[in-house]
A = this chain, B = another copy of it.
Amino acid sequence: MRIDALQYCNFSREIFQQMNQGGVHAVHVTIAYHENFRETVANIEHWNRWFEQYPDLIFQGRWARCVETAKATGRTAIFFGFQNPSPIEDDIGLVEILHSLGARFMQLSYNNQSLLATGCYEANDPGITRMGREVIAEMNRVGLVIDMSHSAERSTLEAIELSSRPIAITHANPGFWEPALRNKSDAVLKALGESGGMLGFSMYPHHLKGKGDCTLDSFCQMVADTAELMGVDHIGWGSDLCQDQPDSVVEWMRVGRWTKKVDYGEGSKSAPGFPAMPSWFADNRDFGNVEAGLLAVGFSHADVAKIMGGNWHRFFESSFGPATA
């Protein structure tokens, strides 16, 4: 079973075919960066058309068992998520509405301060806000997973503490390997693992040691070191694959509507666009490369199966339904 817990490609029949060829049974796709509720619904409508057009390749995933269906029928289950709480606007009631529409992951903040939590680009992080505490409880109730991939340290630790259910960091790497602003401290990773949460390793070049030149061996050794730190049951993939996107999309991701200036985010003035992917992970057909890389650094077949998808599948099973008393 292969699961990727974060992609934001410029999706097409070609990419869905690559998912199929790569044996990827489930993908968590981003359907909102800065979109408000109505705009998010429009993005769901867009996906509904793809589901209607390509039923041989993809269908909407709502529950863990959809991954099993995908595997049994040779297709990919697509799970929706948001990189920002913008789809719920200021309205806690939209948490349940969006879960009903299939949302399964929501970041409490993107790079900036949100109404709920602080993003990793802010100078100061006061932790989870008043509304954030209410929304965490509501997400716990309905089964919408808290994702802190882009959030700042204190907010992340508080979210782990406040949430009654395990949370996720769907796409990031450990800071001990590559000290990018988006990568996570040992303290966060330990707390995440101890609370039953999940980390998805990112193949996005800005999160890699050496960026696009990162070697597969270095990447897989980092996975092994992280397994030591937080447990082999709490890690998986969250590739952050942004295949075929024009650079205007990364500008939307970074700038949204919040500034009139250019914000380069993880990029720079000389390299404002999407960075080149590492040679060993260009698209969904390359999961075999990382699987081989894990075996090469000494992981057992059983542990490789967990990392490739088993861990995320178990997490989906306990996370997407309503809270049990």
- Which residue of chain B is the closest to A111 with respect to CB atoms? B130
Whether the pair B113, A122 counts as a contact (CB closer than 8 A) is: no
Complex CA gap A112/B114 in Å reads 11
Spot the interface stretch: A51-59, A83-91, A279-287. A83-91
CB distance from A101 to the nearest CB of B (A): 18
- A36 on the B face (CB < 8 A): yes
Whether the pair A90, B34 counts as a contact (CB closer than 8 A) is: yes
Residue in A86, A90, A125 with the greatest tally of chain B CB atoms within 10 Å: A90
- A126 on the B face (CB < 8 A): yes
- A179 on the B face (CB < 8 A): no
Contacting B at CB under 8 A, from A117-138, are 118, 121-127, 129-132, 134, 138
Whether the pair B92, A131 counts as a contact (CB closer than 8 A) is: no
- A259 on the B face (CB < 8 A): yes
Whether the pair B122, A124 counts as a contact (CB closer than 8 A) is: no
Residues in B whose Cβ lies below 8 Å from that of A89: 36, 89, 257
Whether the pair B115, A122 counts as a contact (CB closer than 8 A) is: no
Whether the pair A126, B124 counts as a contact (CB closer than 8 A) is: yes
CB distance from A109 to the nearest CB of B (A): 10
Complex CA gap A86/B115 in Å reads 11
Asked whether A92 and B129 contact (CB < 8 A) given A114-B115, A115-B112, A115-B115, the answer is no
Whether the pair B130, A112 counts as a contact (CB closer than 8 A) is: yes
Residues in B whose Cβ lies below 8 Å from that of A49: none
- A261 on the B face (CB < 8 A): yes
Whether the pair B129, A126 counts as a contact (CB closer than 8 A) is: no
Whether the pair A134, B258 counts as a contact (CB closer than 8 A) is: yes
- A269 on the B face (CB < 8 A): no
Asked whether A130 and B90 contact (CB < 8 A) given A115-B113, A115-B114, the answer is no
- Which residue of chain B is the closest to A35 with respect to CB atoms? B90
Whether the pair A131, B259 counts as a contact (CB closer than 8 A) is: yes
Whether the pair B256, A90 counts as a contact (CB closer than 8 A) is: yes
Asked whether A260 and B113 contact (CB < 8 A) given A122-B126, A126-B126, the answer is no
Complex CA gap A37/B143 in Å reads 30
- A93 on the B face (CB < 8 A): yes
- Which residue of chain B is the closest to A125 with respect to CB atoms? B126
- Which residue of chain B is the closest to A135 with respect to CB atoms? B258
Complex CA gap A259/B127 in Å reads 18
6 contacts between A and B (CB under 8 A): A91-B258, A113-B115, A113-B126, A115-B258, A121-B130, A138-B260
**Nearest 4 A-B pairs (CB), nearest first?**
A124-B126, A91-B257, A113-B129, A131-B258
